[in-house]
Amino acid sequence: MILSDYHMHTSFSDDSEATMASMIKRSIELGFHTICFTDHMDLDFPIEFGGGFIFNTDIYSRHVERLREKYADQITVLCGVEYGLRPYLKEQFHTLTKKNNFDFIIGSSHLVGNIDPYQKEYWEGITEEDGITKYLEAIYANVQAYDDFDVYGHIDYAVRYAPNQNKNYSYAKYADIIDAIFTTLIQKGKGIEVNTAGYKYGLGHPHPQTDILKRYKELGGEIITIGSDAHKPEHIGYEFAKVEELLRSIGFEYYTIFEKRKAEFIAL
Ligand SMILES: [Zn+2]
Ligand SMILES: [Zn+2]
């Protein structure tokens, strides 16, 4: 059983109101062994879409530390972060990484240029295929530019918001760019996450979806963390049993947890 959730948000993220304590209590109820907070750090998020998505890392780390100690005999609580990467922010993110002792860093793409595929405008005036390709190209630019992360988050996040979601989406259709992303990640010793929020958005798959996970394995990808991307306590561990079965059926034998940025492999 997967008893570690490596992607969750709290009120340190602008899109969550959950207290850290409420997330920890729910995780203990579920019998989880380890959780890692990964609040949003999206530097230079466009003002026209609300700005924000940043937090004070000193206060954050102190909060996590206090709760880590308080609940130490019941659960391991780790301090991670989800970076919203774009290539020109490389130096700023690097400084942030050096300054903080995060246990785990998810690198994610939330913006293509200055717009989030979550916004309807993103899909206006382009074909669905171009919208998805541009999103995957934005990931590729980030994985080439950055080393300040451990796994890449929700690889096909854009299909959540595509006009037909994942109905016309497949590995085969985007093979070249997906292979380029995975090859670079694997060469750099980085992994991916399996993000179960895909099920929540009605895709019938996690992010990335099954055929893409298969390809990651084929190319030699081994590092996989599991995260619910919960923004509320009730979504912690969302569909973890389903994803465990899926990973086994693809041939994965291990998933990965991180502490102090060091990977440890756990049998599935
Ligand atoms: Zn994200
Ligand atoms: Zn997230």
Amino acid at 262: K
Using the mean position of ligand 2's atoms as its centre, give its distance from the Cα of residue 244 in Å.
20
Token pair belonging to 243? 């994803």
The stretch 114-137 carries a mean pLDDT of: 96
Can you give the pLDDT at residue 4? 98
Contacts of residue 210, defined as CB under 8 A and 6 or more positions apart, other chains included, come to 246, 250
Can you give the pLDDT at residue 95? 98
Using the mean position of ligand 2's atoms as its centre, give its distance from the Cα of residue 15 in Å.
10
Sole residue written with tokens 């907070």: 37
Using the mean position of ligand 1's atoms as its centre, give its distance from the Cα of residue 59 in Å.
21
Mean residue pLDDT across the chain: 97
- List the one residue out of 134, 122, 128, 152 whose CA is nearest residue 212: 152
Which residue blocks in the chain are alpha helix, DSSP H? 20-29, 57-70, 90-99, 128-145, 175-187, 197-200, 210-218, 240-250
Question: Residues of the chain with pLDDT > 90: what percent?
Answer: 98
Using the mean position of ligand 2's atoms as its centre, give its distance from the Cα of residue 231 in Å.
8
- C-alpha span between 15 and 51 (Å, rounded): 12
Task: Domain ranges for the chain, please list them.
Answer: 4-267
The stretch 194-223 carries a mean pLDDT of: 97
CA distances from residue 3 to 44, 147, 209 in whole angstroms, order as listed:
34, 27, 21
In this structure, the chain runs to a length of 268
With a cut of 80, say whether residue 153 has pLDDT above it. Answer: yes
Contacts of residue 238, defined as CB under 8 A and 6 or more positions apart, other chains included, come to 196, 197, 199, 200, 228, 230
Task: Judge if pTM exceeds 0.95.
Answer: yes
pLDDT tens profile 49-79:
877 899 999 999 999 999 999 999 999 999 9
- C-alpha span between 196 and 212 (Å, rounded): 14
Residues whose beta carbons lie less than 5 angstroms from ion ligand 1: 108
Using the mean position of ligand 2's atoms as its centre, give its distance from the Cα of residue 250 in Å.
25
The stretch 165-181 carries a mean pLDDT of: 97
The matching CATH number, chosen from 3.40.50.720, 3.20.20.140, 3.40.50.970, 3.40.50.300, for 4-267 is 3.20.20.140
Can you give the pLDDT at residue 47? 85
Using the mean position of ligand 2's atoms as its centre, give its distance from the Cα of residue 76 in Å.
20
- 242-246 long-range contacts, CB within 8 A, separation 24+: 242/196, 242/199, 243/2, 243/194, 243/196, 243/206, 244/1, 244/2, 244/268, 246/206, 246/210, 246/213
Can you give the pLDDT at residue 49? 80
The stretch 140-159 carries a mean pLDDT of: 97
Q: Is 248 left (phi over 0), alpha (psi -120 to 50) or beta?
A: alpha
CA distances from residue 113 to 14, 87, 110, 126, 141 in whole angstroms, order as listed:
20, 10, 10, 15, 11
CB 38 within 8 A of CB 64: no
Can you give the pLDDT at residue 50? 76
The stretch 117-121 carries a mean pLDDT of: 95
- C-alpha span between 129 and 133 (Å, rounded): 6
- C-alpha span between 104 and 90 (Å, rounded): 18
Can you give the pLDDT at residue 51? 76
